[in-house]
Amino acid sequence: MIRFENVTKVYARGARPALDRVSLDVERGEFLFLVGASGSGKSTFLRLVLREERASAGRVWVAGKELGTLSSWKVPHMRRRIGAVFQDFRLLPNKTVFENVAFALQVIGKPRHHILTTVPDVLEMVGLAGKEKRRPHELSGGEQQRVAIARAFVNRPDILLADEPTGNLDPTTSLGIMRLLDRINRTGTTVVMATHDDEIVDQMRKRVVELDTGALVRDQSRGVYGSDR
């Protein structure tokens, strides 16, 4: 599903590379934790998958497409197969829960009847049934992240990228979010989650990839957060 081949990313000429010759294969339906200290290259990895950045060297494949040769007008279509959630939720404050999720479908031109049937389904799935008319500021952090996940998942993407989705949440709420991501993973969606949260990684026992100053230092199936444990 995602394939990195000797990928290097240098932001500024002469600077230390954010990613340094990383090679990695993520299969369809896999759940992968991306761990490492701040600045280790986790976010750069996700940005490369979304093609918000282009690799300086090496090749990136996402859903069968080589992103280096993908023309820029095809990028939006590629992104429709990827959902993304972030630590800061990125919801639209002046739209309701329903409108926030529907927005993702509206802007890719989905018909109205499709939106009216799909959005309630996905809101029910993330556990927000009955809160469709609330606005983001009326919700708890965990609920806001659920809205964000619903928005990322409403178009049934092949890949879900999560950049520290539990970074702003307390442990109990985080656990709920992880259950949700696990459920999404079980529907066959590949999930890549960058995180600092050792407890969660240790509990889930999924594949763990560790980055250190841009280099891939560990790739372990059913791994834990710290390699020394």
Partner 1 sequence: MRLRFIFSEIGIGLRRNLSMTISVILVTFVSLTFVGVASLLQTQIGKMKDDWYGKVEVAAYLCPTHSTAPTCAGGEVTPDQEAKIKAALQQPEVAPYIQQIYFESKQQAYASFEKRFKGDFMASLATVDDMQASYRIKLVDPTKYQVVADVLSGVQGVEQVQDQRQLFDRMFLIMDRATLLSGGLAAVMLLAAILLITTTIRLSALSRRRETGIMRLVGASNLFIELPFMLEGAIAATIGAALAVGALWAGVKYLVVDWLGSSVQWIPYVTTADLTRVAPVLVIIGILLATISSVVTLNRYTRV
Among 16, 112, 133, 205, binds partner 1 (CB under 8 A): 112
> By CB under 8 A, how many residues form the interface with partner 1?
30
CA distance 26 to 31: 9
Span 148-207, contacts to partner 1 by CB under 8 A:
151-152, 155
Query: Contact between 137 and partner 1 (CB under 8 A)?
Result: no
Strand order, beta sheet including 57-62: 19-26, 2-9, 57-62, 65-66
Told to check if 72 binds partner 1 by CB under 8 A, we report yes
Name the segment binding partner 1 (CB under 8 A); options: 19-27, 49-57, 137-145, 179-187: 49-57
- Which pairs from 124-131 meet CB under 8 Å and 24+ separation? 125/150, 125/153, 125/183, 126/150, 126/153, 126/180, 127/176, 127/180, 128/97, 131/97
Using the rule CB under 8 A, which residue among 57, 63, 75, 224 binds partner 1?
75
65 binds partner 1 (CB under 8 A): no
Please say whether the dihedral angle defined by the alpha carbons of residues 141, 170, 38 and 4, taken in this order, is positive or negative.
negative
Give the relative orientation of helices 97-106 and 112-125 as an angle to the nearest 10 degrees: 130
Task: Note whether 92 binds partner 1 by CB under 8 A.
Answer: yes
Q: Measured from the CB atom, is 9 or 79 closer to partner 1?
A: 79
Binding site residues, partner 1, CB under 8 A:
50-52, 72-73, 75-84, 90, 92, 103-104, 106-112, 115, 151-152, 155
